Amino acid sequence: MKKYTEDIKLFLKSEFGKAIENASEQEIYFALSKAIMADLTENWEKTKLDYSKEKQAFYFSAEFLMGRTLGNNLMNLNLYHSIQDELDALGIKLNTLEELEEDAGLGNGGLGRLAACFLDSAATMNVPVNGYGIRYDYGIFKQYFENGFQKEMADNWLKNGDPWSIRKVKEAVTVHFEDGDVLAVPYDTPIVGYGTNNINTLRLWKAEPIVPFDFDLFNDQEYDESVAKKNRAEDISRVLYPNDSTNEGKILRLKQQYFFVSASLQELVRKFKESHGKHFEKFPEYIAVQLNDTHPVVGIPELIRILVDEEHLTFKKAWQIAKETFAYTNHTILNEALEKWWVGFYKELLPRIYEIIDKLDKQFVHELKELGYTKELIKSMRIIQDNMIHMAYLAIYGTKATNGVAALHTEILKNQELKDWYELYPNRFQNKTNGITQRRWLLLSNKQLSGFITELLGSEKWVTDLSEVKKLEQFADDSAILNKFISIKKEKKAELASYILEAEGIEIDPNSIFDIQIKRLHEYKRQLLSAFQILNLYFDIKENPQIDVVPRTFIFGAKAAPGYFRAKGIIKFINEIAKLVNTDKDVNGRIKVVFVSNYRVSYAEKLFPAADLSEQISTAGKEASGTGNMKFMLNGTPTIGTLDGANVEIVEEAGLENNYIFGAEVDELEAIKDTYDPKAIYDAHPRLKKIIDTLIDGTFDDEETGMFEELYNALLVGASWHKADNYFILKDFDSYVEAQKRVDTDYRDQLKWARKCWMNIAGAGKFSSDRTILEYAKDIWNIARIDV
C-alpha cells in the first residue's frame, strides 16, 4: 500500500510554503486531499477516454448535495484505514481532518442528495453517467437560531479553497442572454467509484464576465460602474436558489437554469461533432440527458436552438433528436409546485427560446386536434396557458420518458395529477423508486454496524449489492446478535449526544428514545403534527405527573426557505415548545426537544445511525418518495409514518409489524377533500383544541410577528390559495398519538424492539441507488456498463 506522507509534505511546501510540523490541520487536510487527487488523475483520464467511445448519460440537476468528500473518497479507494494509520504515526487524527471539511454548498434537499447518490452509484456500478450543474459560490445559507427564530448567514463553503475540483478555463463556453453574454467556466470534480477504476465526472459551471472590468470607467474613477457587468455575470452562480419573491429574483433564477443547461448542451454538441462529425441523427445513440425535475427543462428548446440555428438542421429533425435525447424525472405530486414561468421573462431574456417553445406549443395543439381532443382538454394541456409556460408539460411532450420516484407517486401521477398526459403517452411513463448509496449512509457513517454486518454475512459483497442484507433475516431471533445490535445503537446515540452537546450546547440522555425528524421544512411534511404530539405528551405529564412514559428526546433538523413565512413560524413554534418543555421541573427530563442548527449532510451522517424512531409523517399522497426514510431504515430504525411515498414500499419490504403506520390513506383523503371540516374536529376535541390554542392564547411568544396566528388560521380558516387544514393535521392527530403510544409500549421490550430494527435492515436491499441507477441505464438511457 502506497504511503502518502511524502506527498502531503510536498503539497504543504508547494501550496503553503510550510513543513508538516508547522502546518495547521486545515492545511494538512488540503494537502492530503491534493495528494489523493494527484493519484486519481490517470484513472480519471482513462475513464473519460473509454466513455467517449460509447453511449453516455448526462444528469442535469440544479443541485448536487454532495456532502464531504475526503472520507467518502478514502473509503471508496480502500485507503481509509491505511491513511488513518499513517496519520496516527504523525500524531494527526483523520477524523479531525474530516470534520474540518466544509459541506459543499451545492444542494439543499432530497432532489440534490438523490443526484449525489446517483453519481456515486453510477461510478461504482461502472455506468457512464456524468453530472452537470452550477458551481455556486455560496450554498443556500447557514442556519442559526436567535430567540428561536431561524436566521440565515452566507454559506461560504469555498473560503478555504476546494482541493477536489479542477478549473478548466480552456473549455469555457459563452452563454447568450438578451441583456448580455456570460462566460461559463467549468470546474470538474472526480466521482470515485467503490472498488473500481472508474472515475466519473461532476462538471459544474461558474459564471464569469466576458470582460473582467471596464478599464475606461475605472480610469475615470467610476469604480462601482467599472465592475457592474462583472458582478451581474457572477450573480448567476453566486447563490443556490436566490430569493425569487421579486421579478429580479425570478429573472436571476431563470438565468441560472438556462446558464448551466446551455453551457452543458453546447459542450455535448461540440464533443459529439469531434467524434462523429455532423451526423446528428446519431446524437441520441451516443448521448442521453436526464432532466432532474423541471429546473433544466429549458434544455429541450435550447438543444433545438443549437441544432437549428448553429448546425442548420430543420426544425423537424432537431425536434426528433431532442425528443429521443431527453428524459424527465418528476419529483413532486403537488401541482402548485410544478414550475411555471411567465412568458414575459422568456421574451425579455431568451426571446429565441420563447419562439421555439411557442412553436412547440402550437405543434402540440395541432397534434391534439388531429387526435380529436376537445377544445377544453387541449386548453388544459397546452404548454403555454394564460401567459404562463408550464415546464412539466414541456418536459413530458419533449422527452421520451417521464418517471416518478416511488410506486405510489407514479400511480398518482398517472391516475390524478398527470392523468391526461398518461392517457396520451402511456408508454412514456415509468416508475424508478429512489435509492440511497449504502456506502456513505452505512459503510462510512456507521462503521460499527457495517463492520458487524460484514462479519455476519462473511463478506463485504453487500457494499455493492445491497440485496445481500436480506440474509440477515436468519439472525432476527438470535438474542446474542440483537444484543450486539443494541450495544452498537447505544454507542451511536452516545456519539450523537456528545456532538449535540458540543454543537448546540444542549445535553440529551442517550438512554431515551431518540425520536428524529430531519428533512426540509415544508407544511406537507407536517413537522407541525410532531409539535402538536409533543405538546399532547407534555399536557399528559402536567395533568398526571406520575404518568409512566419512556424518556424521549425529540430531535428536529430542517431549514426553511428564506421567504417561507409559515415554515419559519413552525421552526419558531417548535423552539418555543423546547423552551417550555426543557425547563419544566414536572417533566424532569422525561421529554426533551432539540432543533439542531444548520442541518446538512455531515450532520445527517451522525443523526441517522443514532435514531430509534424515524418520523415520516407527510400527508398521504404528498411526498413523492423520500430518501431519509431509507437512510433510517438501513441503519436499523423503524418508521412511524403514513402510507406515503416510499413508506409504502418500505413497509412491504420490512413488514407492517416492524413499523408504525397511521393516518388516512390517499383514497380516503381524496374522497373527503371537498367536505372536510377541521373546525368540527377542533370544537369536539378538547385536548387538540387546547394544543392549537397555544398558537394564539399567549402560551408562546412569536414577538408580534403574526407567525403563530397565521399558523392557527391556516388550520382553521384557510387562505385564498388553500382550504383550512390543507394537509389534514387535525384528521390524523388521534391516529398519530395512538401510534406513538404503541412505540412507547414496544420500546420497553428491548429485544422485541431490536428485532423490529433488525428486520428493517434486512428489508433495505431494494433501496440502494445502485439498483435505481441500473434501472435508469437499462430502461431509459439504454447504456451499458463500461469497466475501465
Active-site residue numbers? 331, 519-520, 525, 627, 631
Rounded CA-CA distance 104/137 in Å is 10
Distances (CA, A) of 473 to 84, 489, 655: 33, 18, 12
Nearest Cα residue to 438 out of 456, 405, 460, 459: 460
Q: Which cell numbers hold the place of 307?
A: 441544432
Helix or strand (DSSP H, E) at 594: strand 591-596
Q: Enumerate the β-bridge partners of residue 56.
A: 287
Helices (H), 694-728: 707-716
Give SS3 for 245: coil
Instruction: Give the pairing type, strands 326-329 and 149-155.
Output: unpaired
Strand ordering across the sheet containing 513-518: 591-596, 552-557, 513-518, 613-616, 639-641, 660-661
Hey, how many other C-beta atoms are within 10 angstroms of the C-beta on 7?
17
CA dist., res. 205 & res. 133, Å (int) = 6
- For residues 60 and 291, the answer to whether their CB atoms sit within 8 Å is yes
Q: How far apart are CA 768 and CA 114, in angstroms?
A: 11
Grid cell digits, residue 567: 415554515
Backbone CA torsion sign across 488, 491, 493, 496: negative
Alpha-carbon distance 413 to 516, whole Å? 30
Q: How far apart are the first and last CA of the chain?
A: 21
Q: What are phi and psi of 363, to 5 degrees?
A: -60, -40
Could you give the count of Cα atoms lying within 13 Å of 282 in the half-sphere of its Cβ? 10
Cβ neighbours of 767 (radius 10 Å): 27
Angle, alpha carbons 774-776-781 (nearest 5°)? 115
Strand-pair partners of 57: 129, 288
Query: How is residue 209 written as a grid cell?
Result: 464576465
Write the DSSP string, 384-438: EETTEEEHHHHHHHTSS-EEESSHHHHHHIIIIITHHHHHH-GGGEEE----B-H
Identify the bridge partners of residue 245 per DSSP, sorted by sequence position.
none
What b/e readout covers 686-696, taking b as 16+ CB neighbours within 10 angstroms?
ebbeebbebbe
Which residues, in sequence order, are bridge partners of residue 327?
290
- Measured CA to CA, the distance from residue 315 to residue 415 in angstroms comes to 33
How would you class 16 by CB atoms within 10 Å of its CB: exposed for 0-12, middle for 13-18, buried for 19 or more?
Answer: middle
Closest among 516, 764, 769 to 650, alpha carbons compared = 764
Q: Tell me how crowded residue 314 is: count the other CB atoms within 10 A of its CB.
A: 10
User: Do residues 333 and 621 make contact, with C-beta atoms less than 8 angstroms apart?
Assistant: yes
Residues 629 and 614: their CA atoms lie apart, in Å, by 7
User: Which of helix, strand or coil describes residue 151?
Assistant: strand
Angstrom distance (rounded) from CA 448 to CA 442: 9
Cβ distance 182 to 236 under 8 Å? yes
- For residues 64-89, b (16+ Cβ closer than 10 Å) or e, as one string? bbbbbbbbbbbbbbebbeebeebbee
Q: Are strands 139-146 and 199-208 parallel, antiparallel or unpaired?
A: unpaired
The residues facing 333 across adjacent strands are: none
